[in-house]
Structure 1
Amino acid sequence: MSLLSVEGLGIAFGGLKAVDDVSFSVNPGEIVSVIGPNGAGKTTLFNMISGVYMPRSGRVRLNGEDVTGYAPHLLARRGMSRTFQNLQIFQNMTVLENAIAGFHLREKGSVFADLFGLPGSRRRSRDARTGARELLARVGLANAAELEAGSLSYGALKRLEIARALALDTKVLLLDEPAAGCNAVETEEIDHLIAEVAASGVAILLVEHDMKMVMRISNHIVVLDHGVKIAEGEPGAVSRDPNVIAAYLGTKTEEPSHAHG
């Protein structure tokens, strides 16, 4: 069974169909990328899957459960995490504190226990700290744990955001332009990290403008144009598809514009 199944999703704004009847699935350990020209509906699609927008039509299933329109925090508790185009990092907190913050949604203790520092609360705090350090090691930031997050490079901050998303016992990870703003070295580090996360069995759905990165790491690609799926398949086949080439006509197919879709 697919971990994430998108079935006929659609939404309109002011009578204009932003996304229309899009379907695909993501299996455990698979990297699926959604690409398309500017304004193709990629971010809108992400927003429907992750509970930011309520679809007008269609279904989102997470591990077989219909979760269409569920709020992001409810999806997180079921194993779906998302990163955003713009960093959602607490710049004035340490790297470790940022990672620990990702564990809070998993906690089921009472406010009373936390307020009075009862044993259950202290145990959860220890577990979160231990888990956060393990995640930082996983994303190559173990040595930066006590640094202020704002002092990190942009690429390191992107990896920190992925670490925090993984704190939620993630089964499906949605990455919204994880390499945007990164230099070539930082992009390669994120490439390797995404591949390692997928290898652990996490299903990854990716929106990314860096076509070289997409072609390098994706198992499967979904192409949108004006909200409609125009192609789907393995990277090699998609890159040769006449519909895809036509959709990107007027831009460099290798490097589409970095404006948000």
Structure 2
Amino acid sequence: MSLLSVEGLGIEFGGVRAVHDVSFNVKPGEIVSVIGPNGAGKTTLFNMISGVYLPGGGKVVLDGEDVTGMAPHLLARRGLSRTFQNLQIFQQMTVLENAIAGYHLQESGHVLSDMFNLPSSRKRARAAAEGAYALLERVRLSRAAEQEAGNLSYGALKRLEIARALALNPRVLLLDEPAAGCNAVETEEIDNLIAEVAKEGVAILLVEHDMKLVMRISNHIVVLDHGEKIAEGDPATVSRNPDVIAAYLGTQAEEATHADS
């Protein structure tokens, strides 16, 4: 059964069709990648799924519930979390504080208890700190917990953003170019982390330009061009699709497929 269903999703900006009639499903533990050339509508699609944009047509279904246009914080409480193409990190805060920030949507305390530092507030703070530190261990950043986030390498910042998204205990995780700007070692670390999360049953929707990474870890690939879906299937099928090659991949997909075979 699909955990996330995108059904005929579309949107226009100023009369220009950005995304049109896109549909696909993501099952628990599955990694589905959305690829396409620049301007294909990938991030716009992510923004509609995650509640940043209100779709002009179609719907988003999360675990059987129509959540189309629902605000991002409400989607997060229902188990859908995301990262962004541009880092959303608090550079002057410590690595641990950034990870703790991911827990704020789970907090159920009252303003007064926080104002007066009541035991319930302190208990929540301890639980958030412990959970955040465990996430940092998971993404191999625990040794940097007390450093300012701005001192981390770009790849480490990418892993920190994933850790913060995982703090919401998502059932569906949207990753927007998690390996962008990373070197080969950093990309492999992110590759392994994504695979680990998927093995735990989290449904992962990925936008990424690194074709070797996409072909290596994806169970299913959706290809967009000019806002429309032109192909979908497993990596081997997509990499040999003539429409995909003509629109975007060229020989990259073939090379990536053969390199990992």
Amino acid at match of 2:230: I
Amino acid at match of 2:71: A
Q: Percent identity?
A: 79
Deviations 1:237-257 (A, max 9, x none): 0000011011127x66359xx
Question: Residue 252 of structure 2 aligns to a residue in which SS?
Answer: coil
Q: 1:110-259 alignment to 2 at 5 Å?
A: 110-248=110-248, 253-254=252-253
Task: Kindly state the Cα deviation for residue 144 of structure 1 after the two structures are TM-superposed.
Answer: 1.1
Question: Residue 121 of structure 1 aligns to a residue in which SS?
Answer: helix
Q: How many residues align?
A: 254
Task: Kindly state the Cα deviation for residue 130 of structure 1 after the two structures are TM-superposed.
Answer: 0.7
Distance 1:30 1:248 in 2: 24
Unpaired segments ≥5 residues, structure 1? 256-261
Question: Residue 96 of structure 2 aligns to a residue in which SS?
Answer: helix
Question: Residue 161 of structure 2 aligns to a residue in which SS?
Answer: helix
On the 8 A contact 2:245/2:251 being kept in 1, the answer is no
Distance 1:197 1:142 in 2: 18
Distance 2:63 2:14 in 1: 33
RMSD value over aligned CA atoms? Answer: 1.2
Amino acid at match of 2:252: T
In structure 1, the partner of 2:23 is 23
Distance 1:118 1:91 in 2: 29
Question: Residue 158 of structure 1 aligns to a residue in which SS?
Answer: helix
Deviations 1:32-89 (A, max 9, x none): 0000111111111011001011001101011111100011111111111110111111
Question: Residue 248 of structure 1 aligns to a residue in which SS?
Answer: helix
Task: Kindly state the Cα deviation for residue 142 of structure 1 after the two structures are TM-superposed.
Answer: 1.3
Deviations 1:176-205 (A, max 9, x none): 000001011101110000000111111100
Give TM-score scaled by structure 1 length.
0.95
Deviations 1:201-241 (A, max 9, x none): 11100000111110011000000011111100000000000
Q: 1:42-81 alignment to 2 at 5 Å?
A: 42-81=42-81
Give TM-score scaled by structure 2 length.
0.95
Distance 1:135 1:42 in 2: 28
In structure 2, the partner of 1:258 is none
On the 8 A contact 2:215/2:253 being kept in 1, the answer is no
Distance 1:106 1:45 in 2: 26
In structure 2, the partner of 1:259 is none
Distance 2:137 2:70 in 1: 32
